[in-house]
């Protein structure tokens, strides 16, 4: 970041906002009689979840080698994207910057908040042209830059993250939803150097818990306090918190599953070669491929007829379909269908 302190970027009403504080969660008790929150005394899930997510944050802090005060937990990364925009972008005045193409929800939440969305067009290899970035970054309305790496839907990683942190006069959000598949270093290593950095990660992809809806934001303690001020007090449910804490204690299983996905990714890459309806398979650091198809309409329709669900990306990316890596049975069904077209 050039000159601004974080407080100069935050909306004035957010700075003045007092967070909702659960007395129970901010104090220690041995055997409390809980008559404070109008809950039912009966049931298996009758108590509100820990609004501070202490157990989960402590475990994440241990694994990531950072402080719990640098972690915010969201109901999926989507909630955190929404909160970041609300914290830093004044409606009808400020703007966000996102790559084009990239994850559509950045623009979606900005639109809900009545913020302008500026798009940084990527080159033919889906890379950022730095001179184009420097020009668009001069816009004084820009407050937040969402940088997805590996990028969705293109699959490639973005190099030289520090360049964007140093040359953007606002908050840089590095969305690492697919980082575990990439073999690249996480931008978490840069947290102590850049006060304008927020790193997003999720349990929805490599960890295999999309249904639990748990995402994390890593940032300075100052930014995390702002996120905790704005978020709903009980935003992550009891069952998801307990499930994720349990999962974090089984890193061996996690790594085995990631390795299996990477093996299937390599197998699919080999199988795609020579298939007539495929004109190009873009390189990927994620758990999916962006593929340009000949006669994309008929290919996509044929897959739907066989109930193979994929993500069509045209007209934004002409002729392209995004296909994520499945298990071997699913992948073989896909390949056999494509070979028959």
d(C-alpha 140, C-alpha 168), whole Å: 11
Report whether pLDDT(2) > 60: no
Residue 102 has pLDDT above 50, yes or no: yes
Contact indicator for 49, 236 with CB cutoff of 8 Å: yes
Asked if residue 275 lies in contact with residue 86, where contact means CB atoms within 8 angstroms, the answer is no
Residue 3 confidence (pLDDT) above 90: no
Above 70 in pLDDT, residue 184? yes
Say whether pLDDT at 294 is over 70. Answer: yes
Specify the domain boundaries for CATH 3.40.640.10 within the chain. 11-29+46-249
Mean pLDDT over 34-41 rounds to 92
Q: Average pLDDT over the chain, rounded to whole?
A: 96
Helix ranges (DSSP H) in the chain: 6-9, 12-15, 54-64, 76-88, 105-112, 130-136, 161-167, 221-230, 238-248, 251-272, 296-305, 328-339
Mean pLDDT of all residues in 204-226: 97
Query: Torsion-angle region of residue 290: left (phi > 0), alpha (psi -120 to 50) or beta?
Result: beta
* Residues with Cβ within 8 Å of residue 16, at least 6 apart in sequence: none
- Is the CATH number of domain 252-339 3.90.1150.10? yes
Is the pLDDT assigned to residue 25 strictly greater than 90?
no
Flag whether pLDDT at 272 surpasses 80.
yes
| Residue ranges of the chain that CATH labels 3.90.1150.10 | 252-339
299 C-beta neighbours (distance < 10 Å), count: 21
Q: Residue 311 pairs with which residues in a beta bridge?
A: 322
One CATH from 3.30.1330.180, 1.20.1250.20, 3.40.640.10, 3.50.50.60 for 11-29+46-249: 3.40.640.10
For residue 1, what pLDDT is reported? 59
Ramachandran category for residue 159: left, alpha or beta (phi over 0 → left; psi -120 to 50 → alpha): beta
Looking at residue 45, its pLDDT comes to: 93
Mean pLDDT along residues 115-133: 98
CA quadruple 133, 138, 140, 142: dihedral, nearest 10: 10
What pTM was estimated for this model as a whole?
0.95
3-state secondary structure of 336: helix
For the beta carbon of residue 180, count every other beta carbon within 10 angstroms.
Answer: 23
Residues with Cβ within 8 Å of 34's Cβ and at least 6 positions away in sequence, in order, are: 24, 47
Counts for the chain of helices (H) and strands (E), in that order: 12, 11
């Amino acid at each position: 970041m050039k000159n601004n302190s974080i407080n100069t970027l935050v909306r004035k009403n957010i700075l003045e906002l007092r967070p909702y504080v659960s007395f129970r969660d901010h104090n220690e008790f041995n055997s409390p009689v809980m008559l404070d929150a109008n809950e039912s005394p009966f049931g298996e899930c009758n108590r509100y979840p820990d609004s501070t997510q202490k157990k989960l944050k402590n475990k994440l802090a241990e694994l990531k080698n950072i402080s719990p005060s640098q972690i915010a937990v969201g109901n999926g990364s989507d909630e955190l994207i929404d909160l970041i925009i609300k914290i830093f972008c004044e409606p009808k005045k400020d703007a966000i910057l996102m790559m084009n193409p990239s994850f559509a929800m950045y623009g979606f939440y900005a639109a809900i908040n009545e913020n302008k969305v500026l798009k940084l067009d990527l080159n033919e290899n889906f890379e950022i042209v730095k001179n184009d970035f420097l020009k668009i970054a001069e816009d004084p309305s820009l407050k937040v830059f969402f940088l997805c790496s590996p990028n969705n839907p293109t699959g490639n990683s973005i190099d030289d993250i520090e360049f964007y942190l140093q040359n953007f006069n606002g908050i840089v959000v590095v969305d690492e939803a697919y980082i575990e598949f990439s073999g690249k270093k996480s931008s978490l290593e840069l947290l102590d150097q850049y006060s304008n950095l927020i790193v997003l990660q999720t349990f929805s992809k490599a960890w295999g818990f999309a249904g639990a809806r748990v995402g994390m934001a890593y940032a300075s303690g100052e930014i995390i306090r702002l996120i905790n001020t704005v978020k709903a007090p009980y935003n992550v449910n009891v069952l998801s918190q307990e499930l994720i804490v349990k999962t974090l204690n089984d890193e061996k299983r996690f790594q085995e599953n990631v390795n299996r996905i990477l093996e299937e990714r390599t197998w699919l890459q080999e199988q795609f070669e020579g298939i007539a309806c495929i004109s190009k398979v873009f390189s990927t650091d994620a758990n999916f491929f962006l593929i340009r198809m000949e006669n994309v309409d008929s290919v996509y329709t044929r897959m739907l007829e066989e109930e193979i669900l994929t993500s069509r990306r045209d007209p934004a990316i002409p002729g392209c379909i995004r296909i994520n890596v499945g298990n071997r049975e699913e992948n073989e069904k896909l390949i056999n269908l494509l070979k028959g077209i």
